[in-house]
Every structure is written in structure tokens, then in C-alpha cells.
């Protein structure tokens, strides 16, 4: 399972981040997310500088922080999967035929 996950991450890295179209999609998604955060924060922020500068920066930074947290959790799960022998709850046992 860990090998499959690592191959998928490698595929995503090479197909999305190493191509011009993949970078454009990621940047456009970040811009749309920042613009959406401005629209959502408009009723609550009275300062124009705060609305058009601080809110998009905070939104994109929050998105990056959540991405880093996901990568950290993924690494922790891979470590746990490889180092911990999980108990077998009987789902994979073959039953002996009844006599």
C-alpha cells in the first residue's frame, strides 16, 4: 500500500508540478481561492487594505499550512503502517472445512 501511495505522489509531482499547464492550474486555483476569501470576508472586514491584502494572503497561507499538515499526517501514517504490526481481527483467516 505504501509503495502504491508513493508512486501516486511521484506521478502527481511529475505530471502537475513539472509542466507549465499544471503550474497554471495550481496558481489559478490559489487566485480563485484568495478571491473567494475576499468575497466571504467582505461583510466582516472594514479596512480595504485588510480586505484586499491581508485576507487573500491569510487564505493562501492557510491553504499551504493545511497542505503541509496533510503531508505530515501522510508520512506519519506511512511510518506507522511500516513499523506497527496491526492486529488481525479475523477477517483474513481461512476457515477450516467442517467435518
Q: Does 35 fall in a domain? A: yes
| Stated length of the chain | 99
Q: Does 55 fall in a domain? A: yes
Q: Does 76 fall in a domain? A: yes
CA distance 67 to 70: 5
Host domain of residue 44: 12-81
How many domains would you assign to the chain?
1
For the entire predicted model, the pTM comes to: 0.59
Residue 35: HSE in the Cβ half-sphere, 13 Å Cα cutoff: 6
| pLDDT value, residue 25 | 83
pLDDT digits (tens, 9 = 90+) for 36-63: 999 999 999 999 999 999 999 999 999 9
Q: Does 29 fall in a domain? A: yes
Residue 4 has pLDDT above 80, yes or no: no
Mean pLDDT, to the nearest integer, of 76-93?
68
Q: Does 56 fall in a domain? A: yes
Mean pLDDT, to the nearest integer, of 12-18?
67
Q: Does 59 fall in a domain? A: yes
| pLDDT value, residue 80 | 81
Q: Does 87 fall in a domain? A: no
Amino acid at each position: 500500500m505504501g509503495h502504491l501511495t508513493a508512486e501516486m505522489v511521484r506521478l502527481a509531482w511529475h505530471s502537475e508540478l513539472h509542466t507549465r499547464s499544471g503550474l497554471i492550474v495550481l496558481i489559478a486555483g490559489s487566485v480563485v481561492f484568495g478571491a473567494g476569501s475576499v468575497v466571504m470576508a467582505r461583510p466582516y472586514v472594514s479596512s480595504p487594505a485588510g480586505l484586499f491584502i491581508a485576507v487573500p494572503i491569510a487564505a493562501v497561507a492557510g491553504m499551504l499550512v493545511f497542505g503541509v499538515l496533510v503531508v505530515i499526517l501522510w508520512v506519519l501514517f506511512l511510518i506507522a503502517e511500516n513499523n506497527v504490526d496491526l492486529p488481525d481481527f479475523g477477517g483474513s483467516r481461512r476457515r477450516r472445512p467442517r467435518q
